[in-house]
Amino acid sequence: MFHLIRNSHIWLPSLIGRKMKAIVNPPRRSGPIHILFCMADHFEPKWNNASPDTEKERIKRWVEMYPMLASAQRDSNGRPTQHTWFYAAEEYRPNHLEKLSELCKQGFGEIELHIHHGNDTPEGFRQKLEQAKADFSRHGALITQHNPPQYAFGFIHGNWALNNSRNGNHYCGVNNELKILKDAGCYADFTLPSAPHESQTFKVNSIYYARDINGMRKSHNKGIDVKVRGKEIGDLMLIQGPLALNWKRRKYSVLPGIESGCIQCSSPGTPDRIDLWVQQHIHVQGHPEWIFIKVYCHGTQEDDIDVLLGEKAHKMSSYLEEKYNDGEQYKLHYVTAREMYNIIKAAEAGNSGNPFQFKDYLIKPYQNSWGGDVRI
């Protein structure tokens, strides 16, 4: 039956193996479970070849609607929901970035980097990264409050093709992207999961280090798990979102659905999905008390307005707060991509307690970020 699920041979054995390991050797936990929740938005204002007026309307929608949605929610720190806009660099418009930066300054999220490219070269990719850093930093994005300031960014590859991981070169073309990204200031990649695409890795539900291997495409197919007291190994950290089989959402009434953490009109963030995200228990090895959940969306697509900015979005956050923020068994933390990385690095270093205190552990806030600890 499973062979009917497209490209499942790539990732299903690993998923089953992880499940068996968790049954045989369940992680030992102490104290409450902290849920770190991050919404990673593949933000593309020009999606579907939109007109300039449509682009402006898409940005306006977020500027007007997101503060109302976010301010109605609170995590265990009294913080509203956080959104990370992985903005498509090839669609850069100064006015768009300026308006999103205003949301960041109000304490509602941060801007990171998303790039689509194809039939490219290593040098061409480097140039695109440098141009994006120059463009975005004019608005206080991708440049930190360190003294002196430093370039830093999280990354999502367009069309899921990180490290030329799709067939052919049409969606990438560069086999050594991990090192190029690291050298340019990338702290982690957030592209995965990508099932059922062929770009999905054998590695699933993991936070791990990967390295370029002699120009081999998709060298991040496997890697070394981030673990407590471990060392940074390889060229780049990859932070994956949940990947699972959802037997409550069957295809053709027989095959289980693929749960990949995608929030869209046909797949809102419902209780059964949220529970499945938590059950994947993505964590730093040796630190099972902190669970990292990174889900994704495409925030400019009109069909998805309700699940991202409307009542269905409110219901998703409310369920998270009701079930996973009781203060005893669970504590919920809304975080940006940068903050999630920082907390992962704090766990790797052996820190414990409330993870929120480590949200700026290594990489300081961006220059357009909210200046306070908690926005009320």
Q: Which of 38, 128, 39 is nearest to 88 (CA)?
A: 128
Residues 238/220, Cβ–Cβ less than 8 Å: yes
CB crowding 198-231: b at 16 or more within 10 Å, else e:
ebbbbbbbbbbbbbbbeeebbbbbebbebbeebe
Q: Which of 258, 302, 286 is nearest to 350 (CA)?
A: 286
User: pTM of this prediction?
Assistant: 0.96
Six-digit token string for 323: 């079930």
Low-confidence ranges of the chain (pLDDT < 70): 1-4, 251-253, 371-376
Query: What is the residue type of 86?
Result: F
Query: What is the residue type of 308?
Result: L
Q: Which residues pair with 259 in a beta bridge?
A: 244
Q: What is 2-22+31-358's CATH superfamily?
A: Glycoside hydrolase/deacetylase (3.20.20.370)
Query: What mean pLDDT, rounded, does the chain reach?
Result: 95
Which residues fall within 8 angstroms of residue 240, CB to CB, at 6 or more apart? 192, 193, 203, 204, 205, 206, 207, 208, 282, 294
pLDDT the model gives residue 374: 45
pLDDT the model gives residue 253: 63
- Torsion angle (degrees, nearest 10) of CA 346, 162, 87, 125: 110
Six-digit token string for 139: 């608005």
Q: Which of 259, 262, 256 is nearest to 272 (CA)?
A: 259
Query: What is the residue type of 76?
Result: S
Q: Are strands 244-251 and 255-259 parallel, antiparallel or unpaired?
A: antiparallel
SS (H, E, C) the chain: CHHHCCCHHHHHHHHHHHHHHHHHCCCCCCCCEEEEEEEEEEECCCCCCCCHHHHHHHHHHHHHHHHHHHHCCCCCCCCCCCEEEEEEHHHCCHHHHHHHHHHHHCCCEEEEEEECCCCCCHHHHHHHHHHHHHHHHCCCCCEECCCCCCECEEEEEHHHCHHHCCCCCCCCCCCCHHHHHHHHCEEEECCCCCCCCCCCCCCCCCEEEECCCCCCCCHHHCCEECECCCCCCCCEEEECCCCEEEEEEEECCCEEEEECCEEECCECCCHHHHHHHHHCCCCCECCCCEEEEEEEECCCCHHHHHHHHCHHHHHHHHHHHHHCCCCCCEEEEECCHHHHHHHHHHHHCCCCCCHHHHCCCCCCCECCCCCCCCCC
Six-digit token string for 43: 């933000």
Instruction: Report how far residue 176's alpha carbon sits from residue 165's, in angstroms, rounded to the nearest whole number.
Output: 11
Q: Are strands 236-239 and 207-210 parallel, antiparallel or unpaired?
A: antiparallel
Residues 299/351, Cβ–Cβ less than 8 Å: no
Residues 33/329, Cβ–Cβ less than 8 Å: yes
